[in-house]
Amino acid sequence: MQSSEAYEIIQKPVLTEKSTSEQENANVYRFEVAGGANRIEIKQAVEMLFEVKVEKVNTMVRNGKMRRRGASYFRTPSKKIALVQLADGNKIDLL
Query: pLDDT at position 14, please?
Result: 95
43 touches 57 (CB < 8 A): yes
Q: Rounded to two decimals, what is the model's pTM?
A: 0.89
For the chain, which residues make up each domain, given as ranges? 3-86
Could you please state the CATH topology (level 3) that the domain comprising 3-86 is classified under: Alpha-Beta Plaits (3.30.70)
How many other C-beta atoms can be found within 10 angstroms of the C-beta atom of residue 95? 5
Is the pLDDT reported for residue 1 higher than 80?
no
pLDDT tens sequence across 23-69: 999 999 999 999 999 999 999 999 999 999 999 999 999 999 999 99
pLDDT tens sequence across 2-14: 888 999 999 999 9
Q: Three-state SS for 24?
A: helix
How many other C-beta atoms can be found within 10 angstroms of the C-beta atom of residue 64? 12
